[in-house]
Amino acid sequence: MMSIAQVRSAGSAGNYYTDKDNYYVLGSMGERWAGQGAEQLGLQGSVDKDVFTRLLEGRLPDGADLSRMQDGSNRHRPGYDLTFSAPKSISMMAMLGGDKRLIEAHNQAVDFAVRHHPCGGTGLHTGDDGRTVRNGADR
């Protein structure tokens, strides 16, 4: 299953997704850049909080500024949070039963979905509970 939520604040989201006490990150398999957007921006490996926050603010690694100023404030839409969740029966077998093949299959399915999602994706992380959260900035 995939759920979508609009990211409303770049600064708050930057902290939320990179906070090591965050529910989604506890026991995480690691945050990493993913998708066509990440490839186009030359982003690879682990997600850097400062780069991620700048992206959410509309500032690209090459210095381009996509932010939209209006009345003295940035009206840029940071992006969308796509959360991928395996069915409960699968996550129970994977996490409680210890079947790592199910976790890997879920991760591969999420990677495929992120690569082929129209927005292109920029980053994702997978939590220990089998939920994968994909973080993206508008292109």
Q: Which residues pair with 13 in a beta bridge?
A: none
Are the C-beta atoms of 78 and 9 separated by less than 8 Å?
Answer: yes
Q: Which of 16, 23, 24, 80 is catalytic?
A: 16
Backbone phi and psi for residue 57, each to the nearest 5 degrees, phi listed first = -85, -5
Backbone phi and psi for residue 125, each to the nearest 5 degrees, phi listed first = -145, 150
Are the C-beta atoms of 45 and 33 separated by less than 8 Å?
Answer: yes
Catalytic-residue membership of 24: no
Catalytic-residue membership of 23: no
Q: Which of 17, 23, 24, 80 is catalytic?
A: 17
Q: Which residues are catalytic?
A: 16-17
